[in-house]
Amino acid sequence: MNVQVIKIGGNIIDNPVELEKFLTDFSKIEGNKFLVHGGGKSATKMAESIGLVPQMIEGRRITDAAMLDVVVMIYAGQINKEIVAKLQSKDNNAIGFSGADGNLIQSTKRNHPTIDYGFVGDVKQVNTTLLKTLLENGIVPVFCAITHDKNGQLLNTNADTIASELAIALSEVFDVTLTYCFEKQGVLQDSEDDSSVITEINEVLYKELKEQKVIHSGMIPKLDNCFNSLSRGVQKIKIAHHSMLQNPDISHTTITL
């Protein structure tokens, strides 16, 4: 049985027109599917409106207690429920989840040797049994970027990582395709040239592109997750514009080992 895990990028979430197009395309996908979203720009905007100063290191958000309140409200609340409502309008029986719901994704608070990321979680365990039950009952799960530690603490968790860990867990029982959808056609050789898509990236090329600073910032954790997923059983991984969901011939990036 095939399963598609699709992660939607923040620039699509922040654009009502593009979000509507994406959700229309996503709703037409037949078979088993998961949607994962973040919402970093919306969280940043909300944080700044109440006087908080967001901090990022290498594309990852520092999450103190005040910022955690913001991301839970925006990710698990506003964005998640708006997406679920829109999918329901398109006849997809979606249910929104954080990792705490049904103990679906359990994490541990990140322990970095030099950086205090605050209330940031690294995924420890995925409840594959419950995920399988959801699919068997025709549910379209929509995951936000919030997990928990099984001790009552919510944790901000990178949405790319959540998509990767869900795909890895599901690959134990399904053939899984993981797709990272965002506003570009794929990974670009030149960030200013949308036509400069790198159609295939393996680990050797990835290392070279990082050294050349072609790949940097938020794309690094995304690609790290891709290679981790492939090494742990995920069958196919793509980075693409969301229009590829209904037009697979559109230029995109395929990730290979």
| CB count in 10 Å sphere of residue 129 | 11
The per-residue pLDDT of the chain, averaged, comes to 94
Which strands sit side by side in the sheet containing 146-148, from one edge to the other?
A: 121-126, 105-109, 146-148, 154-156
Under CATH, which number does the domain 2-255 receive?
3.40.1160.10
**Whole-angstrom Cα distance, residue 45 to residue 43?**
5
pLDDT above 90: residue 151: yes
Can you say which residues are annotated as belonging to the binding site? 39-40, 61, 156
- The domains of the chain are located at 2-255
Q: How far is CA 102 from CA 78, 98, 105, in A?
A: 20, 9, 8
Residues 6+ apart with CB under 8 A from 124: 106, 107, 108
Can you say which residues are annotated as belonging to the binding site for substrate? 39-40, 61, 156
The stretch 23-29 carries a mean pLDDT of: 96
pLDDT above 70: residue 59: no
pLDDT band at 219 (very low <50, low <70, confident <90, very high): confident
pLDDT band at 256 (very low <50, low <70, confident <90, very high): very high
Residues 6+ apart with CB under 8 A from 86: 19, 20, 23
pLDDT band at 34 (very low <50, low <70, confident <90, very high): very high
The stretch 196-207 carries a mean pLDDT of: 96
Q: What is the pLDDT of residue 221?
A: 83
Residue-wise pLDDT for 174-185, tens only, equals 999 999 998 899
Residues 6+ apart with CB under 8 A from 249: none
pLDDT band at 161 (very low <50, low <70, confident <90, very high): very high
The stretch 78-90 carries a mean pLDDT of: 98
Q: Cβ-count burial of 36 within 10 angstroms (0-12 exposed, 13-18 middle, 19+ buried)?
A: buried
The stretch 118-124 carries a mean pLDDT of: 97
pLDDT above 80: residue 60: no
pLDDT above 70: residue 139: yes
pLDDT above 90: residue 116: yes
How far apart, in Å, do the first and last CA atoms of the chain sit? 23
Residue-wise pLDDT for 61-71, tens only, equals 899 999 999 99
DSSP-assigned letter for residue 242: G
